[in-house]
Amino acid sequence: MVPKVMIILGSSSDIAIAEKSMDVLEKLEIPYSLKIASAHRTLNLLREIVKQGTDAGIEVFIGIAGLAAHLPGAIAAYTPRPVIGVPVDVKTSGMDALDSCVQMPYPSPIATVGIDRGDNGAILAAQFLGVHDKEIRQKVIELRKEYRRKVIESNKIVQEFEDKKYLVKDFLTIDNIKIEDEAYSIKDESDDDVDVAIVAGRHSDLITAKKVSVILDRLKISYDMKVVCPIRSNKKFKDYINSMENAKIFIGISSNSSQVTGALVGLTDRPVIGVPCINEVGYQHILTTVNMPPGVPVATVGTNNGRNAAVLVGEILSIKDPNITEVVNKLKDKKINL
Ligand code: AIR
């Protein structure tokens, strides 16, 4: 049997993080492979694993590594399939590994998740597969509901503080709140659907959004684009995301506290790609985009790297599209330039 996902570790010392990925994939009943191959110590082995895996039909790769974590990048060099990077905290709190994964040059994006977030790496892989497979998509939706239920149920802890005399006077208890159901459900497709919805938080982020659209045009992938901020125009933001409910992939572009991607993951079960931007004082916002809690991954690409966000879309869609596979392969081999 050819697994759908291949997890590659830089070392056996990364196994605890890989176990988080395995637990999710077991739960979602997605077959996977687990290999150890270092980009620095065993590059030839890595190349063989990735090439043979791709040829056999692996659809998504997850690279897990610490320190100068060039493993996911090295995987991306040998496959047109999407590569997810999980940076591991070995030294410098994992910041070295994070930058090694996320700050990739065009046209080799790594869909980076938070430091040590093997669970989110696997959920993201399932979301990528779910773009082409309704059964997997439905399983991700159920998993998201489980995370949601856990948060709501955790409010029970408040009742334990019965000796706090001012707290017990609170009129608002979670049991009394009517909670609107999260709008995750699979809708019928129509001819008007676009593949990608691009959301920029403010007009100055359009410089980065434009880079996404130029490459998507060249890859012949349909999209819609909107500038809307979830904090300043909350209703408009929600209405727009709902109107795009059949988009296969969302791209959020923002700086500061990365509220765009944070809000997007709450409103869709689809993969969300995050492009952190540099704000007016020159501070880049990778951490506020990438370090998402378990259950809600954001596939983060490098700062201002709209072009890599578009290539990542191409890679996700390439899973079932030989034409896009051919273009991505040529692009990576420098046989064409988009
Ligand atoms: N690593 C291995 N080859 C290249 C890199 N960056 C990473 C491993 C692990 C860390 O280095 O992914 O997180 C330490 O590896 P080890 O084998 O010395 O424990």
Q: Is 8 a pocket residue for ligand 1 (Cβ < 6 Å)? A: no
Distance 63 CA to ligand 1 centre (A): 12
- The ranges assigned to domains in the chain are 5-130, 196-332
- pTM across the whole model: 0.96
Phi and psi based region of residue 215 (left: phi greater than 0; alpha: psi -120 to 50; beta: remaining): alpha
C-alpha span between 315 and 86 (Å, rounded): 18
Distance 106 CA to ligand 1 centre (A): 25
Distance 9 CA to ligand 1 centre (A): 8
Angle between helices 206-219 and 306-318 (to 10 degrees): 30
pLDDT, tens digit, for every residue of 204-214?
Answer: 999 999 999 99
The CATH number of domain 5-130, selected from 3.60.21.10, 3.40.50.1970, 3.40.50.740, 3.40.630.30:
3.40.50.1970
5-130 and 196-332: same fold? Answer: yes
Q: Whose CA is nearest to atom 1 of ligand 1?
A: 10
pLDDT, tens digit, for every residue of 201-248?
Answer: 999 999 999 999 999 999 999 999 999 999 999 999 999 999 999 999
Q: Is 80 a pocket residue for ligand 1 (Cβ < 6 Å)? A: no
Q: Whose CA is nearest to atom 17 of ligand 1?
A: 11
Question: What residue has token string 């291949």?
Answer: 6
Mutation choice for ligand 1 from 90, 99, 101, 110, CB with most ligand atoms inside 8 A: 90
CB burial of residue 324 (10 Å; 0-12, 13-18, 19+): buried
Q: According to the model, what pLDDT value does residue 58 have?
A: 98
Whether domain 196-332 has CATH 3.40.50.1970: the reply is: yes
Distance 41 CA to ligand 1 centre (A): 9
- Per-residue model confidence as pLDDT tens for the chain (338 residues): 899 999 999 999 999 999 999 999 999 999 999 999 999 999 999 999 999 999 999 999 999 999 999 999 999 999 999 999 999 999 999 999 999 999 999 999 999 999 999 999 999 999 999 999 999 999 999 999 999 999 999 999 999 999 999 999 999 988 888 887 766 778 888 888 999 999 999 999 999 999 999 999 999 999 999 999 999 999 999 999 999 999 999 999 998 877 999 999 999 999 999 999 988 777 888 999 999 999 999 999 999 999 999 999 999 999 999 999 999 999 988 888 88
